[in-house]
Structure 1
Amino acid sequence: MKNLATKFENLTIQNDFIFKKVMSRKRICIHLLEELLQIKIADINYLEAEKSLEPEYTSRGIRLDIIVADDRNTHYNLEMQVKNNKNPDTKKHVLPKRTRYYQALLDIDLLQNSQEYDLLPPTYVIFICVFDFFAKGNYVYTFKKRCLEDLELELPDEATTIILNTHGTHGNISKDIKSFYDYVNNHVINSDFTKQIDDEISYLKLDTKVRREFMLLEARLLDERREGKAEGRVEGKAEGKAEEKNAIATLMLAKGCYSLQEISELTKLSIEDIEKLEKEMHTTEQS
């Protein structure tokens, strides 16, 4: 519990929990969007912070940090991204296709049954990254669909993906966005905007309900990690035992002095599994 209390006291805007709480304050979220996109927003509605989208039981569900809709029905998804993760199997970075998947599920959630496609509202999927994914030094990377044969021809699907680089060095951004970057990177307070954010975080840390919520969330995540490790150990043991049984059955088959029934009784493998092993042995010998 002491470790969790210390962790809570040391939370910064980079932490998902604090980021969601801070961006749940309208004045802060609106100002960030206005400064980033250089637009005016009269008001926003929150469409569930950390909304879980699971369109099909076979699909991979995602948990979105912040989803808001403005007074013109433009929808924004804001995400804080601290780690530039790779798939351990493919060794490829997951961010590009993660943005694609977020956009797809966001669209599915926005389009109600029997509605026409043209009723899909404009959307912005915005990742605030504390690393430069493209290593180009830009403050902002904005993506829309364009025709390869004519790059001036844009597909008007009104879907925009923006990847922010808080460690950027060039490009056109407002003073408040630059100060926001400095705050995210180094906790530097050099504008009224970042002072508002820092004051909000200080207020959140004094709120016993917020502290309790964080403790419960961390405890739940810890339990999930422990359960996952336990399941992995059980699965690993089961796989090890299965391999051991197959190895013993293969040796018994190779000796040629045991019936299939005897092998089944000793190894607890089914007759079908043993016949499959025998077939594999003959295939290997012939090759």
Structure 2
Amino acid sequence: KNPDTKNYVLPKRTRYYQALMDIDLLQKNQEYDLLPPTYIIFICVFDFFAKGNYVYTFKKRCLEDLELELPDEATTMILNTKGTHGSISKDIKSFYDYVNNHVINSDFTRQIDDEISYLKLDSKVRREFMLLEARLLDERREAKAEGLAEGKAKEKTATAKRLLSMGLSVEDIAKATSLSVEQVEAIKAE
């Protein structure tokens, strides 16, 4: 949950990651049909939907005709390591056991464990991961700052409009709102 709003963020995180992937997959002026199929996969040690499924797979559907799928080739999967029903392979089940209890009970989970051990020792990979985390944090902070600045600008504009309706001079409104005289005149012209 977002600690400020108490809203669940997993669905919007999937959307955000999809956008990050798509922005990196297509260069400026390239045709949209060059976008490859994408899969966003979240491995959760909790059952977000509380339905007990091992896997929840999402694709876009038309609300007026649920048989109609938007063929954008984007798939989001939520893997629920605490799931109790559905059909999953032995390897995926052993992977869930590995995630939940760090149990290595197959060649697949042994390979995963070996790879994780190797990556933990690789300082370059660790550094790249930390840089990615820092970049994502910076992007979130920047978006929040932009939102706050936009909100303040709207607030100043609304205040200027109210003061104009009260008959105050453009100069007084500029002083009161910290807007320039030109900005207040533009608001007045609207």
Aligned length: 135
Q: Is the 8 A contact 2:91 2:108 kept in 1?
A: yes
Higher relative contact order (CA 8 A, sep 6+): 1
Structure ranking higher in helix proportion: 2
Q: CA deviation at 1:199?
A: 3.5
Counting only pairs closer than 5 Å after superposition, residues 192-203 of structure 1 correspond to structure 2 as 192-202=107-117
Counting only pairs closer than 5 Å after superposition, residues 1-287 of structure 1 correspond to structure 2 as 86-202=1-117, 207=121, 210=123, 213=126
The root-mean-square deviation of aligned C-alpha atoms, in Å, is: 2.9
Q: CA deviation at 1:154?
A: 0.6
* Per-residue CA distance 1:82-124 (angstroms, 9 max, x = gap): xxxx122221011101111111221122111111222211111
Q: Provide the C-alpha distance between the structure 2 equivalents of 1:162 and 1:123, rounded to a whole number of angstroms.
A: 11
Work out the percentage of aligned pairs sharing the same amino acid: 83
Q: Which runs of 4+ in 1 moved over 3 A?
A: 199-205, 209-214
2:142 — aligned with what?
A: none
* Per-residue CA distance 1:62-84 (angstroms, 9 max, x = gap): xxxxxxxxxxxxxxxxxxxxxxx
| Structure 1 residues 102 and 202: CA distance shift in structure 2, 3 A | closer
Gaps of 5+ in 2: 138-174, 177-190
Q: Which amino acid aligns with 2:71?
A: P
Q: Which amino acid aligns with 1:133?
A: F
Q: Which amino acid aligns with 2:24?
A: D
| Structure 1 residues 193 and 119: CA distance shift in structure 2, 3 A | same
Q: Provide the C-alpha distance between the structure 2 equivalents of 1:148 and 1:107, rounded to a whole number of angstroms.
A: 24
Q: CA deviation at 1:196?
A: 2.2
SS at match of 2:61: coil
Q: Provide the C-alpha distance between the structure 2 equivalents of 1:141 and 1:181, rounded to a whole number of angstroms.
A: 14
Q: Which amino acid aligns with 2:105?
A: N
Q: Which amino acid aligns with 2:34?
A: L
| Structure 1 residues 120 and 200: CA distance shift in structure 2, 3 A | closer
Q: Is the 8 A contact 2:119 2:125 kept in 1?
A: no
TM-score by length of 2: 0.62
Q: Provide the C-alpha distance between the structure 2 equivalents of 1:186 and 1:152, rounded to a whole number of angstroms.
A: 39
Q: Provide the C-alpha distance between the structure 2 equivalents of 1:174 and 1:213, rounded to a whole number of angstroms.
A: 31
SS at match of 1:193: helix
SS at match of 2:40: strand
Q: Provide the C-alpha distance between the structure 1 equivalents of 2:70 and 2:124, rounded to a whole number of angstroms.
A: 46
SS at match of 2:110: helix
Q: Is the 8 A contact 2:119 2:126 kept in 1?
A: no
Q: Provide the C-alpha distance between the structure 1 equivalents of 2:102 and 2:18, rounded to a whole number of angstroms.
A: 30
1:239 — aligned with what?
A: none
SS at match of 2:39: strand
SS at match of 1:152: coil
Q: Provide the C-alpha distance between the structure 2 equivalents of 1:203 and 1:103, rounded to a whole number of angstroms.
A: 28
| Structure 1 residues 118 and 166: CA distance shift in structure 2, 3 A | same
| Structure 1 residues 200 and 170: CA distance shift in structure 2, 3 A | same
Q: Provide the C-alpha distance between the structure 2 equivalents of 1:182 and 1:119, rounded to a whole number of angstroms.
A: 38
Q: Provide the C-alpha distance between the structure 1 equivalents of 2:117 and 2:33, rounded to a whole number of angstroms.
A: 44
